[in-house]
């Protein structure tokens, strides 16, 4: 630029024609354009790859975490971290890093060239910048805190939205639309409030930087003009110096944006780190070895379990032989579900309390243990796929015969025949198109399809009517064969094929024995049977 100005002033003495200078400027502009395109492609692609790897690591970590983590975390909060927080990290590692590199290069080149023209003028022009850095440093900590607060409010709003949509039928049935609209409005208002506070703070950064740049421009106009008049620098030097200073305007303004990205990215990364650094309470150890089959049986040795400070199971001791059918019953909250969740290690088990084939369950690899278990939870969860895919969910290789037999044994074949598309019928989100009984029978078919040697049924027939229950129990009786079976239920009729029944009371074994003997004993089990018969007679 300096040579172009001087060439226009004195073309004969400088030896530079305007055409040559214009060509040089065009070539430099083309080189700058190519460099920017290449750098943007390289860095932004790298940011996408980083986002992909973090998202993959997040999902892998979520698959490893145990039930305790999910019982203390909101689904909407986790989804918010997968979407908004990851976007903030990508923006930081992409546009943020690219802009930071660009700023460093431009500042280094421009200031170096300015110093060559006139050192004192350069120092005077950039003198307001340290003041700007001090102000920005003061603001940066508050930016981080407000960014974190805004992210937390977004997570609360996402969680409320997800929960409300999932429970929309319940909300409508109780006419609570206005209540939830009010709740959402309040949560959205808090989110707006925190974002406005963040926006006001961000809005303060750019004017501070613009003011420092503007002050430098005024210094150059005043001092540089005098230097040109005094002959200390040429007009070409002044124009070039002004051009170099103008090159600093955009990088200086971008520094505020980079700072905002850095603080938002740091806040988001701290939220992501809580998941990435979370350790599962249930995991394999260096001593874990696979278990191929269950030969001898299962033994509980004074097993106890706490949910936080609450004692759920207290000193449970009994043995289950291979091929034995054991029923577990008791009042609500007596620890029935917790007991069978310990067998596939869905909950952490203390060493020395639960053994399979004489081996501590904590020394058995999770994958091999769970391959031996068919678990039917109390609340049947279905995927938004076809009936066929839900039944075959745990199978790696299957045919129609396996699916059909599993459906028949679960008493679900007649229901499938009534659907227009049969096994290809989509069940909807969480099985919304099926009744409660159909969901449970489909969940039973899914567990039976893998042909497990150990079958755990957690109150699987609670939503099934008495007539259908008899049919399913008869079919399950054939399926049990030599398999080891644990049935949790409050219906005495579910234990008709059981070798013995364990009655829990306040986390302890109150009664244990064959169903017939317990009925004759006249204790808790007999009282449960008597009440259920009265309900059936009255109902």
pLDDT digits (tens, 9 = 90+) for 460-479: 776 666 666 677 777 677 67
Q: Which residues contact 221 (CB under 8 A, 6 or more apart)?
A: none
CA angle 485/491/497 to nearest 5° reads 40
100 and 12 within one domain: yes
In a domain, 281, yes or no: no
Q: What's the burial of 334, exposed, middle or buried (CB within 10 Å: 0-12/13-18/19+)?
A: buried
Over residues 338-361, the mean pLDDT reads 90
272 and 184 within one domain: yes
> Do 242 and 224 meet the contact criterion of CB atoms below 8 Å apart?
yes
Residue 514 main-chain phi, psi, to 5 deg: -60, 150
- pLDDT at residue 9 greater than cutoff 70: no
In a domain, 479, yes or no: no
Distance CA 196, CA 140 (A): 16
Q: What is the pLDDT of residue 383?
A: 81
314 and 220 within one domain: no
Q: Which residues contact 384 (CB under 8 A, 6 or more apart)?
A: 426, 427, 428, 429, 430
- pLDDT at residue 294 greater than cutoff 70: yes
> Do 163 and 76 meet the contact criterion of CB atoms below 8 Å apart?
yes
153 and 56 within one domain: yes
Overall size of the chain counted in residues:
539
In a domain, 86, yes or no: yes
In a domain, 474, yes or no: no
- pLDDT at residue 313 greater than cutoff 70: yes
In a domain, 515, yes or no: yes
- Report the sign of the C-alpha dihedral through residues 526, 528, 529, 530, in that order: positive
- Report the sign of the C-alpha dihedral through residues 312, 315, 318, 319, in that order: positive
Range of lowest pLDDT (6-10, 91-95, 375-379): 6-10
Range of lowest pLDDT (60-69, 170-179, 278-287, 334-343): 170-179
> Do 403 and 391 meet the contact criterion of CB atoms below 8 Å apart?
yes
With H, G, I as helix, E, B as strand and everything else as coil, classify residue 464: coil
In a domain, 291, yes or no: yes
What count of other Cβ atoms lies within 10 Å of the Cβ of residue 519? Answer: 17
Chain-wide mean pLDDT for the chain? Answer: 80
* Number of domains composing the chain: 3
**pLDDT band for position 34 (cuts 50, 70, 90):** confident
Task: Indicate the pairing of strand 359-360 with strand 373-376.
Answer: unpaired
**Cα atoms in the Cβ-side hemisphere of radius 13 Å centred on 312:** 16
422 and 461 within one domain: no
Domain with 438, as residue range(s), is 379-451
530 and 429 within one domain: no
Distance CA 332, CA 504 (A): 10
252 and 211 within one domain: yes
**CATH code of the domain in which 413 resides:** 3.40.50.300
36 and 22 within one domain: yes
Q: Which residues contact 490 (CB under 8 A, 6 or more apart)?
A: 329, 330, 332, 459, 462, 528
Query: Which residue in 114, 127, 362, 156 sits closest to 243, CA to CA?
Result: 114
167 and 67 within one domain: yes
261 and 114 within one domain: yes
Write out the H or E segment, with its range, that includes residue 316: strand 310-321
Over residues 442-464, the mean pLDDT reads 82
CA end-to-end distance (rounded Å), the chain:
97
In a domain, 482, yes or no: no
Paired strand residues for 513: 501
Encoding tokens for residue 43? 């860095």
Q: What is the pLDDT of residue 1?
A: 52
362 and 244 within one domain: no
Q: What is the pLDDT of residue 24?
A: 65
**Cα atoms in the Cβ-side hemisphere of radius 13 Å centred on 514:** 5
Paired strand residues for 511: 503
CA 132 to chain centroid: 39
Write out the H or E segment, with its range, that includes residue 329: strand 325-330
Buried b (16+ CB within 10 A) or exposed e, 288-305: beebeebeebbbbeebeb
**CATH code of the domain in which 30 resides:** 1.20.1560.10
Over residues 208-223, the mean pLDDT reads 74
What count of other Cβ atoms lies within 10 Å of the Cβ of residue 372? Answer: 19
521 and 406 within one domain: no
Task: Indicate the pairing of strand 373-376 with strand 454-458.
Answer: parallel
**Predicted model pTM:** 0.69
Over residues 63-81, the mean pLDDT reads 79
Distance CA 483, CA 516 (A): 22
- pLDDT at residue 213 greater than cutoff 80: no
- Report the sign of the C-alpha dihedral through residues 312, 318, 321, 323, in that order: negative
Angle, in degrees to the nearest 10, between helices 119-126 and 235-247: 30
In a domain, 480, yes or no: no
**pLDDT band for position 238 (cuts 50, 70, 90):** confident
């Amino acid at each position: 630029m300096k040579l172009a100005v001087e060439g226009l002033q004195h073309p004969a003495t400088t030896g530079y024609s305007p055409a040559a200078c214009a060509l040089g400027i065009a070539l430099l502009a083309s080189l700058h354009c190519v460099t920017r395109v290449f750098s943007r492609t390289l860095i932004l692609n790298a940011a996408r790859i980083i986002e992909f790897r973090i998202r993959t690591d997040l999902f892998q970590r979520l698959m490893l975490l145990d039930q305790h983590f999910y019982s203390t975390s909101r689904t909407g909060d986790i989804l918010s971290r997968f979407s908004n927080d990851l976007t903030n990290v990508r923006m930081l590692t992409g546009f943020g890093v690219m802009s930071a590199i660009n700023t460093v290069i431009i500042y280094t080149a421009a200031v170096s060239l300015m110093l060559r023209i006139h050192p004192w003028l350069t120092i005077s022009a950039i003198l307001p910048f340290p003041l700007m850095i001090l102000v920005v440093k003061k603001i940066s900590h508050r930016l981080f805190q407000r960014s974190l607060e805004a992210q937390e409010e977004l997570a609360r709003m996402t969680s409320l939205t997800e929960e409300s949509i999932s429970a929309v039928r319940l909300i409508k049935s109780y006419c609570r639309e206005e209540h939830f609209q009010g709740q959402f409005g309040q949560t959205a208002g808090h989110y707006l409030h925190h974002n406005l506070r963040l926006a006001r703070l961000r809005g303060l950064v750019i004017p501070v930087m613009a003011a420092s740049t503007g002050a430098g421009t005024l210094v150059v106009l005043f001092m540089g003009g005098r230097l040109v008049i005094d002959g200390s620098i040429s007009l070409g030097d002044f124009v070039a110096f002004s051009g170099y200073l103008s090159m600093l305007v955009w990088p200086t303004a971008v520094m505020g944006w980079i700072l905002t990205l850095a603080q938002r990215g740091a806040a988001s990364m701290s939220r992501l780190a809580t998941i990435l650094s979370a350790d599962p309470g249930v995991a394999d150890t260096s001593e874990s070895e696979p278990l191929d089959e269950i030969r001898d049986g299962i033994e509980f040795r004074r097993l106890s379990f706490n949910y936080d400070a609450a004692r759920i199971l207290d000193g449970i001791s009994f043995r289950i032989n291979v091929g034995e059918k054991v029923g577990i019953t008791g009042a609500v909250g007596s620890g029935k579900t917790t007991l069978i969740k310990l067998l596939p290690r869905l909950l952490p088990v203390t060493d020395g309390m639960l053994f399979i084939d004489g081996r501590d369950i904590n020394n058995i690899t999770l994958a091999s243990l769970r391959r031996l278990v068919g678990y039917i939870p109390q609340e049947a969860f279905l995927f938004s796929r076809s009936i066929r895919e839900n039944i075959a969910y745990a199978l790696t290789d299957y045919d129609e015969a396996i699916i059909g037999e599993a459906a028949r044994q679960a008493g679900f074949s007649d229901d499938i025949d009534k659907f227009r598309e049969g096994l290809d019928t989509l069940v909807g989100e969480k099985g919304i198109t099926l009744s409660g009984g159909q969901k449970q029978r489909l969940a039973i078919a899914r567990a039976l399809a893998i042909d497990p040697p150990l079958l755990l049924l957690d109150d699987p027939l609670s939503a099934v009517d008495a007539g259908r229950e008899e049919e399913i129990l008869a079919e399950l009786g054939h399926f049990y064969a030599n398999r080891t079976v644990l049935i949790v239920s409050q219906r005495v009729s579910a234990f008709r094929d059981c070798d013995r029944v364990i009655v829990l009371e306040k986390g302890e074994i109150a009664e244990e024995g064959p169903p017939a003997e317990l009925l004759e004993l006249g204790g808790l089990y007999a009282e449960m049977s008597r009440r259920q018969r009265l309900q059936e007679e009255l109902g």
